[in-house]
Amino acid sequence: MLIETKNEKRKTKNGRKTADLLSAVFRFSLFAFHCLLLTGCGTPSFLITPVQNVASLQEVTVAKGKGREKIAMIEVEGMLMNAKAGGFLQPTENPLSLFTQQMNQAARDKDVKAVLLRVNSPGGTVTTSDAMYEIVMRFKQKTKKPVVASMQEVAASGGYYVALAADRTMAQPTTVVGSIGVIFSTFDFSGTMNKIGAQANSIKSGPLKDMGSPFKNLTPEERAVMQGIVDEYYARFIDKLETHRQMPDTSLRDTITDGRVFSGQRAKELGLIDEVGLLEDAIKVTRKMVDAPKASVVMYKRPYGYRGSIYAETNVPEPQMAGEQNVTKLELPGGPWLPTGFYYLWNP
């Protein structure tokens, strides 16, 4: 009788612990649910996967073929900057560093017969866009392997600049192509500061040391200097365009190079690209160029990356809000504004 009583007490105690644990889990879940509602989010799913912090790239096959021959598909996506992107609970990556590493891996692999650039970018900084262009040109010169560019949603400004280095370019009929030009953006908060009684003072070594500062107006001399740099970078863009594309007559040339964008179909008519087609068509063209009709298509990814198909995104996109255009959404460092600098960028 005594044994039964102890067992009953032990069962009662264990039952209370289980109930307390379930109650705590329920309260935490309810708290998390209310927090999500307050932030305007829906009911998400969380997947936390522990991974090794390694610098190596894994080769992932995204289109199977037969034999050893391969085509390396390399992304030119998002904001092109020589800076790390990512954040809390997200992998950080420098787009220029990753691109360089991927191109080097394609160059070393004797089974890789060609590179297919999957371009989906509105551009970025002048320096990074130019560096990626030069990397592609040196890759072709060193390896003698052809490069094809397939443009997706957007291939504008710096994104188009990089694609110019390809031996063949293709875009979808609705791809946004063009925005040939340079932009320098700065802000002028001097009027606001005057209203609140604030003032910025600079101790400088020369009269133009703080040109472009958001705390004062641009002087005519400063504007002339900035315009000179913009004109220099613009001339560099036009030089690349003339090197790789057959430019039309003068009147049409002015239209092409005034900074506007075109659809992929119109870009084909203007001679900005070679062909109109989907990514699958670009793969067929690349295979034909290297006489490897059964070549596999591979991508180079960090171990934490997942790629399910040739169209798989670098990051999972956020749902589009009503009224948003179907174009690349940029999450720029430092907030919604561009850091001050010179850009080959389409930023409507």
**Fold for the domain defined by 58-179+258-313+327-345:** 2-enoyl-CoA Hydratase; Chain A, domain 1 (3.90.226)
* Cβ 292 vs Cβ 111: under 8 Å: no
Under the banding of pLDDT at 50, 70 and 90, the label for residue 209 is confident
Query: Mean of the pLDDT values across residues 282-304?
Result: 92
Any idea which of 18-32, 141-155, 189-203 has the lowest mean pLDDT? 18-32
126-148: average pLDDT: 97
Quote the mean pLDDT of the chain.
Answer: 78
* Greater pLDDT, 341 or 307: 341
The residues near 177 (Cβ < 8 Å, ≥ 6 apart) are: 151, 155, 156, 160, 171, 261, 262, 263, 264, 266, 267, 272, 273
Which pLDDT does position 185 carry in this prediction?
Answer: 73
Which tokens in the block code for residue 93?
A: 């990556």
Query: Is 195 a residue of the active site?
Result: no
Domain boundaries, the chain: 58-179+258-313+327-345
Per residue in 90-118, pLDDT (tens digit) is 556 788 999 999 999 999 999 999 999 99
Residue 16 is predicted with a pLDDT of: 60
**Mean pLDDT within 187-203:** 65
The answer to whether 103 and 136 are in contact (CB under 8 A) is: yes
- Is 157 part of the annotated catalytic residue set? yes
Burial of residue 202 (number of CB atoms within 10 Å: 0-12, 13-18, 19+): exposed
Q: How far apart are CA 267 and CA 261, in angstroms?
A: 9
**pLDDT tens readout for residues 259-277:** 999 999 999 999 999 999 9
Please answer whether residues 128 and 96 qualify as being in contact, where contact means their C-beta atoms are separated by less than 8 angstroms: yes
Which position among 121, 157, 213, 296 bears the catalytic label? Answer: 157
Q: Exactly one of 66, 209, 294, 329 is catalytic; which is it?
A: 209
| pLDDT at residue 131, as a whole number | 96
